[in-house]
Amino acid sequence: MRFLQLPQVHSLSYHISRFWTGFRRGILILLVSLLCFTGIAADASAGINDDRYDGNIFVLYAGNGSLVPASVTLKQTLKQGRPTVLVFYVDDSSDCKQFATVVSRVQEFYGRVASIIPVDVDSIPVKDSYEPTEPGYYYEGIVPQTVVFDQEGKVRYNGKGQVEYEAIDDVLRKVFDLLPRSESKVLKRRSYNEFNSELDE
């Protein structure tokens, strides 16, 4: 025996419901396409001259990922009697972004004999008072701020804003008892074979 099967008839409300589901899906796809292709989506470029957060400023703008996080704390380096350069910064400041290259240059020349400690001011705990071995003791509410300590832990320099490399270098030359820049000779590398070289006057 065979049964006769009649075609299924859907109601008008079923057809209207399917229409609106498809219509909404089409509108959503159209809006997402417009956002992607017209540039309304967020700009993904990093900018040194704006106050937007782009990531770690020392990696992005100085090409130096070894500065942050610092390898020692202020307390440790003062206890060791090691000269220290403490730099207060924030990642979303154009002044700090531009100053990152100066900090990297200080590390390039003095990183083996002095501790370079960048401190993100957002990481300083909020307290009523700080000990002299804590970065918050020296922070004055300005970024960038550079504080240089000598071997005895005395503050020898407290620069606010974008200071020149030469200002920090002059202080460190005094801390290490080096000749002033005006009296020192420029050392050039002299190659005596293809693998080795030495400093020469």
Of 90 and 7, the one with more pLDDT: 90
> Could you report the per-residue pLDDT of 4-26, keeping only the tens digit for each?
665 565 666 776 777 777 778 87
Mean pLDDT confidence for 40-54: 73
Q: Which pTM value belongs to this model?
A: 0.71
**Which tokens is 91 given?**
């990642």
CA 141 to chain centre: 18
Q: What is the residue-averaged pLDDT of the chain?
A: 84
CATH of 57-175, one of 3.20.20.70, 3.90.800.10, 3.40.30.10, 1.20.1600.10: 3.40.30.10
Mean pLDDT confidence for 83-105: 95
* 3 state DSSP class of 187: coil
- Pick the closest to residue 80 from 106, 110, 114, 118 (CA basis): 114
60 torsion bin: left (phi>0), alpha (psi -120 to 50), beta (else) = alpha
Bridge-based pairing of strands 115-120 and 84-89 is parallel
The reported pLDDT for the residue numbered 199 is: 46
Bridge-based pairing of strands 155-160 and 115-120 is unpaired
